[in-house]
């Protein structure tokens, strides 16, 4: 697909959009088949040192009651994941760089790897230094998810305070490559001021960095953040359908451009439409991440408003996600890790 076609498809709806989805589905069938893999996600802490302007749990939001789960609570989640037979676990939190926080996560990864050696372990805890990433990898972490949010520097700097470095984020992604992680990144779609060319730049960036997996989703407002004022709120409400469509289109285009990558169906899509994640699977996503976080912590982990699955528990999320895969007409694959084919292919011949 050339850039003009890509831009056309990113903006498509109705017939043209169906044409795009037919294309992306053919590519999926050919390269990775109809399998969908599960990752139980544990949002183990909402403590964050950063202040991203769009995020509900940013450091300066004083309306958030902070928590960090203790090991016993996490062990309970891990037992659930075992029982539900998800093949992988994702540990997600805000960014914490104190030695205490680093030890806590390292020991946790060590425990998971020793107790459940068969699991894929994904870390999603922000920008961490090379040596520590290396220790996590040695302890058994296999994948790391760090969204670039936007690959366009000027837009990045509108979304983050000036001491949040775009360069450092890039360097982290490169470090993960060097350390042989399965590297995951992604963007937000529908950021105020984001153009179709910006989305095209994100796709180029994804190819350049040669990521193995993607977690990407629509931007959703959160009232307690500096990005949102009356005007943005109105703009966002008026553009809901457009943002939703664009995200689905983006997933489909990404599947066509990077056919063997893992792409997660973002929970944030369900804010726009209860069938959001199902649609994402239909048009190219092959990963779903049922929330395993204990119910009592869920309402404290509000990255954006109207976050789904807040009143549910792990059992309900397991049933619901399995159902979504069925509704999408795809295969529920339990009990295996479902590593990125892109990673497996690119590691052939790697020394």
Binding site for ligand 5AD (CB under 6 A): 54-55, 147, 149, 188, 217, 219-220, 222, 268, 303-304
Say whether residue 95 binds ligand SF4 (CB under 6 A). Answer: yes
C-alpha–C-alpha distance, residues 320 and 326, integer Å: 10
Say whether residue 126 binds ligand SF4 (CB under 6 A). Answer: yes
Q: Is 134 helix (H, G, I), strand (E, B) or coil?
A: helix
Residue 79 is inside which H or E element, if any?
helix 71-84
Say whether residue 277 binds ligand SF4 (CB under 6 A). Answer: no
CA distances for 350 relative to 108, 122, 177, 343, angstroms: 29, 21, 12, 11
Q: How many beta carbons lie within 10 A of that of residue 83, not counting itself?
A: 11
Closer Cβ to ligand 5AD, 32 or 271, answer by number: 271
- Which of the stretches 54-62, 165-173, 197-205, 328-336 binds ligand SF4 when contact is defined by CB under 6 A? 54-62
Closer Cβ to ligand 5AD, 124 or 249, answer by number: 124
The residue among 327, 293, 324 whose CA lies nearest residue 311 is 293
Selection from ligand SF4, ligand 5AD, none that 58 binds (CB < 5 to 8 A by kind) is ligand SF4
Say whether residue 32 binds ligand SF4 (CB under 6 A). Answer: no
Say whether residue 57 binds ligand SF4 (CB under 6 A). Answer: yes
Q: How many beta carbons lie within 10 A of that of residue 4, not counting itself?
A: 9
Least distance in angstroms from the C-beta of 268 to ligand SF4: 12
The first and second tokens of residue 274, run together, are 């209860």
Among 40, 94, 192, 284, binds ligand SF4 (CB under 6 A): 94
How many chain residues interact with ligand SF4 (CB under 6 A)? 9
Closer Cβ to ligand 5AD, 32 or 211, answer by number: 211
For the chain, the 3-state helix, strand and coil shares in percent, each to the nearest 5, are 45, 15, 40
Closer Cβ to ligand SF4, 2 or 63, answer by number: 63
Among 20, 32, 36, 55, binds ligand SF4 (CB under 6 A): 55
The first and second tokens of residue 322, run together, are 């399995």
Selection from ligand SF4, ligand 5AD, none that 143 binds (CB < 5 to 8 A by kind) is none
Closer Cβ to ligand 5AD, 305 or 332, answer by number: 305
Among 6, 48, 211, 253, binds ligand SF4 (CB under 6 A): 48
C-alpha–C-alpha distance, residues 316 and 287, integer Å: 18
Say whether residue 28 binds ligand SF4 (CB under 6 A). Answer: no
The residue among 279, 242, 268 whose CA lies nearest residue 21 is 279
Largest CA distance in the chain: 54
Least distance in angstroms from the C-beta of 1 to ligand SF4: 30
Least distance in angstroms from the C-beta of 192 to ligand 5AD: 11
The secondary structure of 202-268 as a DSSP string is: HHHHHHHHT-SEE--EE----TTSTT--HHHHHHHHHTHHHHHHHHHHHHHHHHHHSTTSEEB--GG
Least distance in angstroms from the C-beta of 20 to ligand 5AD: 23
Q: Is 121 helix (H, G, I), strand (E, B) or coil?
A: strand
Q: Is 42 helix (H, G, I), strand (E, B) or coil?
A: strand
Say whether residue 224 binds ligand SF4 (CB under 6 A). Answer: no
Closer Cβ to ligand SF4, 80 or 304, answer by number: 304
Q: Which residues pair with 144 in a beta bridge?
A: 123, 183
Least distance in angstroms from the C-beta of 184 to ligand SF4: 14
Interacting residues with ligand SF4 (CB under 6 A): 48, 50, 52, 55, 57-58, 94-95, 126
């Amino acid at each position: 697909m050339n850039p003009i076609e890509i831009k056309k498809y990113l903006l498509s709806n109705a017939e043209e959009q169906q044409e795009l989805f037919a294309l992306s589905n053919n590519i999926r069938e050919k390269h990775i088949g109809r399998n969908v893999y599960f990752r139980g996600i544990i949002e183990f802490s909402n403590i964050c040192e950063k202040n991203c302007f769009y995020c509900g749990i940013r450091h300066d939001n004083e309306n958030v009651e902070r928590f960090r789960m203790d090991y016993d609570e996490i062990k309970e989640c891990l037992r659930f994941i075992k029982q539900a037979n998800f093949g992988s676990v994702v540990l997600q939190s805000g960014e914490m760089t104190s030695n205490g926080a680093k030890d806590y996560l390292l020991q946790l990864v060590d425990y998971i790897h020793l107790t459940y050696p068969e699991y894929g372990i994904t870390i999603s805890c922000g920008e961490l230094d090379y040596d520590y990433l290396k220790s996590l990898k040695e302890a058994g972490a296999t994948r790391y998810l760090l969204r670039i949010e936007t690959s366009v520097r000027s837009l990045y700097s509108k979304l983050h305070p000036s001491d949040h470095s775009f360069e450092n984020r890039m360097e982290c992604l490169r470090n993960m490559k060097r350390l042989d992680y399965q590297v995951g990144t992604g963007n937000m779609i529908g950021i105020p001021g984001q153009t179709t060319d910006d989305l095209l730049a994100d796709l180029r960036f994804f190819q350049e960095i040669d990521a193995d997996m993607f977690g990407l989703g629509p931007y959703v407002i959160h009232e307690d953040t500096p990005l949102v004022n009356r005007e943005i709120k109105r703009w966002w409400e008026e553009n809901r359908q457009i943002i939703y469509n664009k995200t689905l289109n983006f997933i489909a285009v990404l599947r066509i451009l990077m056919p063997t990558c893992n792409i997660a169906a973002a929970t944030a899509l369900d804010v726009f439409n209860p069938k959001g994640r199902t649609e994402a699977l239909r048009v190219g996503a092959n990963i779903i991440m049922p929330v395993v976080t204990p119910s009592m912590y869920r309402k404290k982990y509000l990255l954006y408003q109207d976050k789904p699955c807040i009143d549910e528990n792990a059992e309900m999320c397991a049933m619901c996600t399995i159902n979504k895969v069925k509704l999408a007409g795809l295969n529920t694959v339990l009990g295996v890790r479902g590593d990125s084919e892109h990673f497996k292919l690119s590691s052939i011949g790697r020394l």
